[in-house]
């Protein structure tokens, strides 16, 4: 009896607290009873408005979006809580549980005050491209200041749980996967790229064999084919006319109408780039994600792995054709089939009920301003370049110094501090002069000025709080302006198609679906925020929240112990 009590005591001393899994260590043997999902898959659909779930609902099959909505948890009133709503900040905030104010990713690009030039959110010239000679491979997450939940899972599992990030866009692959990822892969399709999946030396020195095999296959090239509507075009009653003046045309095509012969059009449209600008870019992303699940053996042991997938072609098609286009409708009908294909593969490889998925978006988008105007809805395009030159000239005349404005980006102005100090000028007075000038423009609705040390002050309103959440003290500009609804900057590429950046509902309201192990079935119309996703997944896994998290776990979506 005493021996039995001693044996039980030794076992109990070696039982870890219930967290990621119930782990029992006895001598050199580790026995794990799987409590958590074997794999967490985060899906970000670039530029997906919430109403794409409801608008195209009757066109979806039963195994994709509908399966997640009907068998999982649907947060119907999910929003971003900061400005600007762009791809880099969106992906970062989803996975870090905090806003640009803390995670530091204030835009896809921004003006670096120390380097005195524009920088990209994942630019890193200290690393080398792997799988390409293009500078597009010189990327890493070094500018992201906080951890992601994938980082925390890696730390929790002593780096045993893998993290793989995948997207056609580098920022869509790199930022979600975090600082400790085993790999992030993106497609080399820019600047006449080779159409290969690539990475950087931040992660590895050579591509794994499964990636090399994928690149040497003909999978990517197989998508140089015709893009026509999946179903008869006259059944696409949820979108506008196929022939209109609100859409961008591919070079070599007389009109933005179906069908599109990608093989014939590729040479005039960046070769592999045209695949990324069609629904087949999403298909290619799924192909590569399935290869990653198999090649990396994700979800095949007792330590939870994380796979981040960003479907980027939806954004490119939205930019080209706009919210109301037949092209967008067809893209989402086809994406539904990709989600179904992914779920079926996970059922087979990881096991039904052994994985957890969330699906959301990095931002939404408004209808094309020209289309809205045709329907008598206020909208417009604003010439930021002319504004920048005019205000610089105004400041020059008033203060006797040329070039007091250095940059305008993300609806922010950056001032020439070195020149202001050299001339002994009053910075706050210069800011006030610029702000007053901005307010005189009809399409600008509001203007805000930061303090001398660039702190956003007087946070006493909804827009003000969103701007503050997106404002990083060291990186952001000093005068911020907000357009009227459905207004964005006038550029050649914005005169057709759409854009995004604002705090209006068309940009902030995006889907949030949870599905799989540990997730309840249900829905809510109560407001949730994008920063709530990371702490929710962290709570599910029993791991530390990402170190900058300010969001709250959505306990109502999780099964109770």
Number of Cβ within 10 Å of residue 167's Cβ equals 28
Helix and strand totals (H; E) in the chain? 20, 22
**What is the rounded CA–CA span in Å between residue 121 and residue 117?**
13
Domain 39-372+512-557, second-level architecture: 3-Layer(aba) Sandwich (3.40)
**Which strands, in side-by-side order, build the sheet including 412-415?**
405-409, 412-415, 479-483, 444-449
Report pLDDT for 453: 77
* Contact yes or no for 482/444 (Cβ under 8 A): yes
R_g of the chain computed on alpha carbons:
25
Dihedral angle over CA of 49, 54, 56, 60, nearest 10: 110
**What is the rounded CA–CA span in Å between residue 33 and residue 530?**
32
Report pLDDT for 5: 43
**What is the rounded CA–CA span in Å between residue 177 and residue 546?**
12
Spell out the alpha helix ranges (H) of 115-260.
149-156, 170-177, 209-216
DSSP one-letter string for 23-82:
EEEETTEEEEE--S-SEEEEEEETT--THHHHHTGGGS-TTTHHHHHHHSEEEEEEE--S
* Contact yes or no for 310/360 (Cβ under 8 A): no
Tokens 């893998």: give the residue: 162
Spell out the alpha helix ranges (H) of 309-422.
313-321, 326-346, 369-374, 384-399, 417-422
The per-residue pLDDT for range 257-313, each reduced to its tens digit, is: 999 999 999 999 999 999 999 999 999 999 999 999 999 999 999 999 999 999 999
Catalytic annotation, pick one of 85, 87, 96, 536: 87
* Residue-range domain boundaries for the chain: 2-33, 39-372+512-557, 380-484
Report pLDDT for 1: 45
Q: Could you say which DSSP state residue 221 is in?
A: G
Report pLDDT for 491: 83
> May I ask the CATH class of domain 380-484?
alpha beta
Report pLDDT for 527: 98
Report pLDDT for 148: 98
Report pLDDT for 21: 56
pTM value > 0.85: yes
The per-residue pLDDT for range 443-462, each reduced to its tens digit, is: 999 999 998 778 877 678 88
Report pLDDT for 191: 67
The per-residue pLDDT for range 321-335, each reduced to its tens digit, is: 999 999 999 999 999
Active site residue 87: yes
pLDDT in tens, the chain (561 residues): 444 444 434 334 343 334 455 544 434 444 444 589 999 999 999 999 999 999 999 999 999 999 999 999 999 999 999 999 999 999 999 999 999 999 999 999 999 999 999 999 999 999 999 999 999 999 999 999 999 999 999 999 999 999 999 999 999 999 999 999 999 999 999 867 789 999 999 999 999 999 999 999 999 999 999 999 999 999 999 999 999 999 999 999 999 999 999 999 999 999 999 999 999 999 999 999 999 999 999 999 999 999 999 999 999 999 999 999 999 999 999 999 999 999 999 999 999 999 999 999 999 999 999 999 999 999 999 999 999 999 999 999 999 999 999 999 999 999 999 999 999 999 999 999 999 999 999 999 999 999 877 887 767 888 999 999 999 999 999 999 999 999 999 987 778 999 999 999 999 999 999 999 999 999 999 999 999 999 999 999 999 999 999 999 999 999 987
* Contact yes or no for 327/255 (Cβ under 8 A): no
**What is the rounded CA–CA span in Å between residue 95 and residue 98?**
8
Our CA angle for 540, 546, 549, nearest 5°, is: 100
């Amino acid at each position: 009896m005493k021996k039995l009590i001693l044996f039980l005591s030794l076992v109990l001393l070696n039982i870890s607290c219930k967290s990621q899994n119930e782990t029992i260590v006895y001598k050199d043997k580790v026995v794990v009873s799987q409590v958590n999902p074997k794999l967490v898959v985060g899906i970000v659909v670039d530029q997906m408005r919430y109403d794409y779930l409801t608008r195209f609902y009757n066109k979806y099959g039963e195994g994709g979006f509908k399966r997640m909505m009907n068998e999982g948890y649907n947060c119907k009133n999910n929003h971003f809580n900061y400005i600007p709503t762009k791809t880099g900040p969106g992906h970062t905030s989803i996975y870090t549980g905090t806003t640009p104010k803390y995670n530091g990713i204030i835009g896809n690009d921004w003006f670096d005050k120390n380097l005195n030039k524009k920088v990209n959110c994942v630019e890193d010239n200290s690393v080398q491209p792997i799988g390409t000679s293009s500078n597009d491979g010189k990327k890493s997450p070094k500018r992201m200041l906080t951890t992601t939940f994938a980082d925390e899972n890696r730390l929790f599992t002593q780096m045993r749980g893998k993290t793989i990030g995948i997207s056609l866009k580098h920022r869509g692959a790199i930022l979600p996967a975090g600082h400790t990822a085993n790999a992030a892969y993106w497609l080399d399709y820019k600047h006449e790229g080779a159409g290969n999946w690539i990475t950087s030396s931040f992660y590895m020195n050579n591509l794994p064999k499964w990636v090399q095999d994928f690149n040497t296959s003909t999978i990517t090239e197989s998508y140089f084919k015709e893009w026509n509507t999946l179903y008869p075009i006259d059944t696409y009653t949820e979108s506008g006319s196929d022939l209109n003046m609100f859409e961008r045309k591919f070079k070599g095509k007389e009109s933005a109408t179906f069908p599109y012969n990608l093989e014939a059009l590729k040479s005039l449209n960046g070769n592999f780039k045209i695949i990324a600008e069609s629904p087949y870019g999403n298909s290619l992303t799924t192909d590569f994600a399935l290869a990653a699940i198999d090649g990396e053996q994700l979800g095949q042991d007792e330590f939870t792995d994380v796979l981040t997938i960003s479907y980027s072609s939806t954004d490119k098609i939205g930019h080209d054709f706009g919210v109301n286009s037949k092209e967008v409708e067809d893209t989402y009908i086809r994406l539904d089939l990709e989600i179904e294909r992914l779920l079926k593969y996970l059922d087979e490889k990881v096991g039904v009920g052994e994985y957890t998925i969330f699906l959301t978006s990095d931002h939404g988008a408004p209808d094309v301003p020209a289309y809205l105007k045709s329907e008598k809805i206020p909208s417009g395009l604003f010439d930021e370049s002319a504004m920048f030159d005019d205000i610089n000239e105004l400041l020059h005349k008033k203060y006797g110094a040329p070039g007091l404005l250095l940059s305008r980006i993300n609806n922010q102005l950056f001032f020439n501090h070195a020149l202001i100090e050299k001339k002994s000028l009053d910075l706050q007075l210069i800011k006030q002069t610029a702000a007053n000038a901005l307010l005189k423009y009809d399409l600008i609705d509001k203007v805000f000025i930061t303090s001398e040390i660039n702190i956003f002050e007087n946070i006493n309103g909804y827009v003000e709080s969103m701007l503050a959440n997106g404002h990083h003290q060291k990186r952001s500009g000093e005068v911020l302006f907000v357009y009227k609804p459905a207004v964005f900057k006038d550029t050649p590429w914005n005169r057709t198609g759409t854009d995004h950046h604002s705090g209006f509902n068309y940009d902030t309201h995006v889907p949030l679906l949870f599905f799989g192990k540990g997730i309840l079935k249900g829905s809510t119309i109560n407001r949730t925020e994008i920063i709530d996703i990371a702490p929710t997944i962290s709570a599910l896994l029993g791991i530390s929240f990402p170190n900058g998290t300010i969001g709250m776990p959505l306990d109502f979506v999780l099964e109770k112990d």
